[in-house]
A and B are shown apart, each in its own frame.
Chain A
Amino acid sequence: MTKVEAIIQNSKLEAVKSALQEIGVEGMTLIEVRGHGQQKGHTEVYRGREYSVDLIPKTKVEVVLAEAMVEKAVQAILGAARAGKIGDGKIFLTRVDEAIRIRNEERGEGAL
Chain B
Amino acid sequence: MGKQLIPTLTFALLLLLLSQPLLAQPASPPATPGAAPTIFSDTNARLAKLEQQVADAKSSADNGWMLTSSALVLMMTGPGLALFYGGLVRKKNVLGTLMQSFALMAVVTVLWGLFSFSLAFASGNSFIGGLHHLFLRGVGAAPDADYAGTIPLQTFMVYQLMFAIITPALIAGAFAERMKFSAMLVFMILWSIVVYDPMAHMVWGKGGLLNAALGGRFPTLDFAGGTVVHVTSGVSALVCALYLGKRMGYPKEAMPPHSVVLSFIGACMLWVGWFGFNAGSALSAGSLATSAFVATHFAAAAAAAGWAAAEWLRNSKPSALGAISGSVAGLVAITPASGFVKPMPALAIGLIAGVFCYWMVAKVKAVFGYDDSLDAFGVHGAGGTLGALLTGIFASSAVNPILKDGQGNILPSGALEGNAHQLVNQFVGVAISWLLAIVGTLAILKIVDMTIGLRVSEEEEIQGLDLSQHGEEGYYWEASA
Chain A residues close to B by CB (< 8 Å)? 44-49, 51
A28 to chain B, nearest CB (A): 18
Question: Which B355-371 residues have C-beta < 8 A from chain A?
Answer: 358, 361-363, 365-366
Q: Is the CB of A47 within 8 A of B254?
A: no
Question: Which B279-333 residues have C-beta < 8 A from chain A?
Answer: 311, 315, 317, 319, 321-322, 325
Closest partner residue, chain B, to A45 (CB atom): B315
Q: Is the CB of A48 within 8 A of B317?
A: no
Q: Is the CB of A46 within 8 A of B321?
A: yes
Question: Which B221-270 residues have C-beta < 8 A from chain A?
Answer: 251, 254, 256-257, 260
Interface membership of B62, Cβ < 8 A: no
Q: Is the CB of A48 within 8 A of B363?
A: yes
A39 to chain B, nearest CB (A): 19
8 A-B pairs within 8 Å (CB atoms) are namely A45-B315, A45-B319, A47-B322, A48-B362, A48-B363, A48-B366, A49-B362, A49-B366
Q: Is the CB of A47 within 8 A of B375?
A: yes
How many Å lie between the Cα of A72 and that of B251 in the bound state? 50
Q: Is the CB of B366 within 8 A of A47?
A: no
How many Å lie between the Cα of A44 and that of B257 in the bound state? 11
Closest partner residue, chain B, to A48 (CB atom): B362
Q: Is the CB of A46 within 8 A of B256?
A: yes
Instruction: Please give 18 more A-B residue pairs, beta carbons under 8 A apart, in addition to A46-B257, A49-B251, A51-B254.
Output: A45-B311, A45-B315, A45-B317, A45-B319, A46-B256, A46-B260, A46-B319, A47-B321, A47-B322, A47-B325, A47-B361, A47-B362, A47-B375, A48-B361, A48-B363, A48-B365, A48-B366, A49-B366
How many Å lie between the Cα of A45 and that of B257 in the bound state? 11
Task: List 5 tightest A-B contacts by C-beta distance, closest first.
Answer: A48-B362, A51-B254, A46-B256, A51-B256, A45-B315
Closest partner residue, chain A, to B360 (CB atom): A48
* B-chain residues with CB within 8 Å of residue A45 when the two chains form the complex: 311, 315, 317, 319
How many Å lie between the Cα of A51 and that of B251 in the bound state? 11
A36 to chain B, nearest CB (A): 16
* A-chain residues with CB within 8 Å of residue B256 when the two chains form the complex: 44, 46, 51
* A-chain residues with CB within 8 Å of residue B311 when the two chains form the complex: 45
Closest partner residue, chain A, to B251 (CB atom): A49
A89 to chain B, nearest CB (A): 25
A7 to chain B, nearest CB (A): 22
* B-chain residues with CB within 8 Å of residue A47 when the two chains form the complex: 321-322, 325, 361-362, 375
* A-chain residues with CB within 8 Å of residue B365 when the two chains form the complex: 48
Residue of B254, B257, B317 contacting most chain A CB atoms (<10 Å): B254
Count residues on chain B whose CB falls below 8 Å from chain A CBs: 19
* A-chain residues with CB within 8 Å of residue B315 when the two chains form the complex: 45
How many Å lie between the Cα of A16 and that of B257 in the bound state? 34
Closest partner residue, chain A, to B364 (CB atom): A48
* A-chain residues with CB within 8 Å of residue B321 when the two chains form the complex: 46-47
How many Å lie between the Cα of A44 and that of B365 in the bound state? 18
Residue of A47, A49, A51 contacting most chain B CB atoms (<10 Å): A47
How many Å lie between the Cα of A44 and that of B315 in the bound state? 10
Closest partner residue, chain A, to B260 (CB atom): A46
How many Å lie between the Cα of A72 and that of B254 in the bound state? 43
Closest partner residue, chain A, to B314 (CB atom): A48
Residue of A45, A46, A48, A51 contacting most chain B CB atoms (<10 Å): A48
How many Å lie between the Cα of A96 and that of B429 in the bound state? 76
Closest partner residue, chain B, to A50 (CB atom): B315
* B-chain residues with CB within 8 Å of residue A44 when the two chains form the complex: 256
How many Å lie between the Cα of A8 and that of B2 in the bound state? 68
A44 to chain B, nearest CB (A): 7
B26 to chain A, nearest CB (A): 87
How many Å lie between the Cα of A47 and that of B254 in the bound state? 13
B313 to chain A, nearest CB (A): 13
* A-chain residues with CB within 8 Å of residue B325 when the two chains form the complex: 47
Closest partner residue, chain A, to B322 (CB atom): A47
* A-chain residues with CB within 8 Å of residue B375 when the two chains form the complex: 47
A88 to chain B, nearest CB (A): 27
How many Å lie between the Cα of A24 and that of B89 in the bound state? 47
Closest partner residue, chain B, to A51 (CB atom): B254
Closest partner residue, chain A, to B315 (CB atom): A45
* A-chain residues with CB within 8 Å of residue B317 when the two chains form the complex: 45
How many Å lie between the Cα of A45 and that of B254 in the bound state? 11
How many Å lie between the Cα of A51 and that of B365 in the bound state? 16
B229 to chain A, nearest CB (A): 22
Closest partner residue, chain B, to A52 (CB atom): B254
A54 to chain B, nearest CB (A): 11
B81 to chain A, nearest CB (A): 17
B353 to chain A, nearest CB (A): 16
* A-chain residues with CB within 8 Å of residue B319 when the two chains form the complex: 45-46
How many Å lie between the Cα of A79 and that of B311 in the bound state? 42
* B-chain residues with CB within 8 Å of residue A48 when the two chains form the complex: 358, 361-363, 365-366
A53 to chain B, nearest CB (A): 8
B359 to chain A, nearest CB (A): 9
How many Å lie between the Cα of A44 and that of B254 in the bound state? 11
How many Å lie between the Cα of A10 and that of B60 in the bound state? 60
Mask of B328-362 contacts with A, CB within 8 angstroms, 1/0:
00000000000000000000000000000010011
How many Å lie between the Cα of A46 and that of B256 in the bound state? 7
Closest partner residue, chain A, to B254 (CB atom): A51
B178 to chain A, nearest CB (A): 18
How many Å lie between the Cα of A47 and that of B322 in the bound state? 6
How many Å lie between the Cα of A51 and that of B319 in the bound state? 14
